[in-house]
A and B are shown apart, each in its own frame.
Chain A
Amino acid sequence: MIVYLLCFILFLVGLYGVITRRNLIKIAISMTFMEFSTFLLFALIGYVDGGVAPIVDPADPVQPYVDPLPQALVLTAIVIGLATTAMMMAIIIRLYRKYGTFDIREIKSLRG
């Protein structure tokens, strides 16, 4: 149980970072924290204590296997996460060129 709780705490650490940091890059890093805590939880769900890789062995077909589905899902989600992070970094670089700063307090032309 404690591992799952640690995943959730890692998620909250990321959320804290997103809310309190002022630097765009640090916000992006906090986002990846949240992302990977979710992936970690997903991968842990499929874990079976003492399980082996899910390749059926004809000699001993009933040994415990880890659940392969969460692994496949996490791989997909990691690829999506890569795209999101790349997109965010591209926007941050553009913002830096326009405003000359990474400070979120300086970037506030939209209001109301």
Chain B
Amino acid sequence: MNPLIPLFVIIPLAGAFLIMILGRFIRNFDKFLASLILLILTVFSIYSLVTTGENPSLYKVGGWEPVNRVPIGIYMVMDGFTVIVLCIINIVGFLSVFYSISYIKRYTSENLFYALFCLMVGGMNGVVLSGDLFNIFVFLEISVISSYALVAFGVEKNELEASFKYQILGGLASFLILFGIALIYWNTKTLNIADVREVFKTGYDRSFYLFAELLILSGFGLKAAIIPFHAWLPDAHSSAPSPISAMLSGVLIKAVGIYVIIRLFFNMFEISESMSVLITTLGTLSMVIGVFLAIGQWDIKRLLAYHSISQMGYVVLSIGMGMIIISRGGRSDVAALAVAGGLFHLVNHAAFKGLLFLNAGAIEYTIGTRDLKEMGGLAKSMPATSATSFIASMSISGIPPFNGFFSKLIIIIAAIMAKFYLLAVLAVIVSIITLASFLKFQRYAFYDKPEYNHDRKIKEVPFPMIFSMIVMSLLCILLSLLAFPGVRDVVLTPAINILTDPAKYSTFIIGI
């Protein structure tokens, strides 16, 4: 029993409650408490990352012990993969909330913003920690309902329309997920992920199983905005306030989408070749189509949102390749390399995409527009924003010293070693188009004209915003260390082991 696990959910939920009640009466209480909560959670998550390693830990809610080795209570599990995603959620969350201190001043009812933010973080922490299908659904709903509200926070025409679209598709996804959970419960009479796997081992109805798999994949695929399900993402991510866009793009689509897909398809379902080919195809499609949709955009945040689809495609593609190799019984080191590439890119994407959205927010904060054609020459008056966004742009397009390069390199090497030459070529081409698209962003936003010539005098954004952007850009550089053996063994290897060895997770849960 690890007593730290429930705190990840309890602290933000209690914080949201307190902010709602007391934030109205005490001035600046909301900002202070929200930053403090996220700071505490960041410390906890880094501590867990260092201590967990190869030893997963468990928390049984209510202290319900298993009966005849069948888990009957709600389990919360913290293993190598969980702690990585927890770190992403809480670090990006802390930087976004700190950034919001200045950014969100232009909106009314600030305390509601911070309360919803804490609620969203609490929901996401719950999703990644839960070891139980129905709890994943409940926490997922907590986080997405607060994100619906946060997308509509500006209550103007665009925000409301985007939020409505997001709610329709998000609601559809939730029902598909619930339907899938119902089918799994019907067949196995259990909801614990590890126990479901144990029951499936003793035999199952093939067509039933496939139907449940497809329902789960399409439900979480909708949440993760993989290509045929992507329609809501560009609207929702571009209409939300910028720190929220950073959270949605950097964290939410991973924690409630990609994380659950990876967890369920590696640790719950048996990896089958047809499913893994399907997942790889979806990943490739999102990678290629996403970047082509991004080229023609002139709204910065919309451009970044389409790039999120494309970069998530890299992650899904790489994970899918790992699944194909495992299902064909290929070399396990290549499978581990493919999975490593996917997880590494997942972490990196949180850093650079979060930073890019914060940069976009800083530009919008200063000059009041998101249209690239109306900007230009901002490099001189906004040096910090310009420098950090240059680092982020180079990271996302895979230029050597930055983190994006290493993860893309690992993905491409894995594709070549597994003899998927077409996928390797596509990954390189998409990376080049990404570079072109970000050079366009750099040129039109920061250079092009010698000076930004409008009647209004522009100056650099306030300190909290600069602080968050600089920390994120440092993360962009430092995360490339994850590619090297010493650091990789601490952070990525436990996660890869728990994913690629299918029996490890279930024996750990059932064995305790």
A107 CB, min distance to chain B CBs, angstroms: 6
B178 contacts A98, C-beta separation under 8 Å: no
**Chain A residues in 8 Å Cβ range of B79:** none
User: How far, in whole Å, are A69 and B192 apart by their CA atoms in the complex?
Assistant: 13
User: In residues 65-112 of chain A, which contact B (Cβ within 8 Å)?
Assistant: 67, 69-70, 73, 76-77, 80, 83-84, 87-88, 91-92, 94-95, 98-99, 107-110, 112
| Distance of A46 from chain B, by nearest CB (Å) | 9
A14 CB → nearest B CB, Å: 8
Structural contact, B182 and A42, CB atoms closer than 8 A: yes
Residue of B nearest to A77 (CB): B178
Contact with B along A11-43 (1 / 0, CB 8 A): 100010010000010010001001100100110
Contacting residue for A11 out of B134, B145, B179, CB 8 A: B179
Residues of A within 8 A of B297 (CB): 112
* A35 contact from B134, B148, B175, B235, Cβ within 8 A: B175
Question: Contact between B160 and A98 (Cβ–Cβ < 8 Å)?
Answer: yes
A41-B182, A83-B141 known; A112-B175 Cβ under 8 A: no
Is the pair A95, B160 in contact by a Cβ cutoff of 8 Å? yes
Partner of B161, one of A35, A107, A112: A107
Contact call A84/B156, Cβ cutoff below 8 A: no
Beta-carbon contact of A84 and B167 below 8 Å? yes
Residue of A nearest to B178 (CB): A38
Asked if A45 is at the interface of the complex by the 8 Å CB criterion, the answer is yes
Asked if residues B185 and A45 are in contact (CB atoms below 8 Å), the reply is: yes
A80 and B164 in contact (CB under 8 A), knowing A41-B182, A112-B302? no
Which residues of chain A are near B152, meaning CB under 8 Å? Answer: 91, 94
Answer whether residue B172 sits at the interface, using C-beta atoms and an 8 A cutoff: yes
Interface flags, B155-191, vs A, CB<8A=1, else 0: 1111011111101100110110011001001100101
A45 with B141: CB separation less than 8 A:
no
Q: Which of A38, A87, A88, A109 contacts B157 (CB 8 A)?
A: A109
Q: Is B239 an interface residue (CB 8 A)?
A: yes
Q: Which residue of B lies closest to A42 (CB)?
A: B182
Is B149 close to A, CB under 8 A? Answer: yes
**In contact, B160 and A94 (Cβ under 8 angstroms):** yes
Q: Which residue among A27, A84, A92 has the maximum number of chain B CB atoms within 10 Å of its CB?
A: A84
Closest B residue, CB atoms, query A24: B164
Nearest CB on B from A79, distance (A): 9
A76, B297: Cα distance in complex, Å: 42
* Residue of B168, B171, B179 contacting most chain A CB atoms (<10 Å): B171
Q: Determine whether the beta carbon of B239 is less than 8 Å from that of A110.
A: yes
Q: Are A92 and B164 in contact (CB under 8 A)?
A: yes
- Could you tell me the distance between the alpha carbons of A84 and B164 in the complex, rounded to whole angstroms? 11
Number of A-B contacts (CB under 8 A): 87
* Contact of A80 with B141 at beta-carbon distance under 8 Å, contacts A87-B149, A91-B152, A112-B302 already known: yes
Contacts of B174 in A (CB 8 A): 84
Whether the Cβ atoms of A95 and B171 lie closer than 8 Å is no
A110 touches B141 (CB 8 A): no
> Contact mask B316-336 → A, CB, 8 Å, 1/0?
000000000000000000000
- By the criterion CB–CB under 8 Å, are A91 and B163 in contact? yes
A-facing residues in B41-65 (Cβ within 8 Å): none
Verify B141–A27 contact, CB threshold 8 A: no
Given A76-B138, A98-B156, A112-B302, A84 contacting B171 (CB threshold 8 A): yes
Give the CA-CA distance A27 to B411 in the complex, in Å: 42
Q: Is the CB of B141 within 8 A of A38?
A: no
Q: A80-B138, A84-B171, A99-B157 are in contact. Are A91 and B164 (CB under 8 A)?
A: yes
Pick from B149, B158, B167: contact of A110, CB below 8 A: B158
- Residues of chain B lying within 8 A (CB to CB) of residue A31: 168, 171-172
Contacts of B179 in A (CB 8 A): 11, 38, 41
Question: Quick check: A34 and B172 within 8 Å, CB to CB?
Answer: yes
The reply to whether A110 and B134 contact each other, CB–CB distance below 8 Å, is no
Complex: how many Å from CA A88 to CA B145?
Answer: 10
Query: Which residues of B have CB within 8 Å of A108?
Result: 161
Shortest beta-carbon distance from A88 to chain B in Å: 5
Q: Write out the residue numbers on chain A whose beta carbons fall within 8 Å of the beta carbon of B175.
A: 11, 34-35, 38
Contact among A27, A91, A110 with B235 in the assembled complex (CB-CB below 8 Å) = A110
Q: How far is the CB of A36 from chain B (nearest CB, A)?
A: 10
Report the Cα distance A37→B239, complex, angstroms. Answer: 32
Those 7 A-B pairs whose CB atoms lie nearest each other, nearest first: A80-B141, A42-B182, A45-B186, A110-B235, A38-B178, A34-B175, A95-B160
> Residues of A with Cβ closer than 8 Å to B?
11, 15, 18, 24, 27, 31, 34-35, 38, 41-42, 45, 67, 69-70, 73, 76-77, 80, 83-84, 87-88, 91-92, 94-95, 98-99, 107-110, 112
28 A–B contact pairs at CB < 8 A? A11-B179, A18-B172, A31-B171, A34-B175, A35-B171, A41-B182, A45-B182, A45-B186, A69-B185, A69-B191, A70-B185, A73-B134, A77-B178, A80-B141, A84-B145, A87-B145, A87-B148, A87-B149, A87-B167, A91-B152, A94-B160, A95-B160, A95-B161, A107-B161, A107-B164, A108-B161, A109-B158, A112-B296
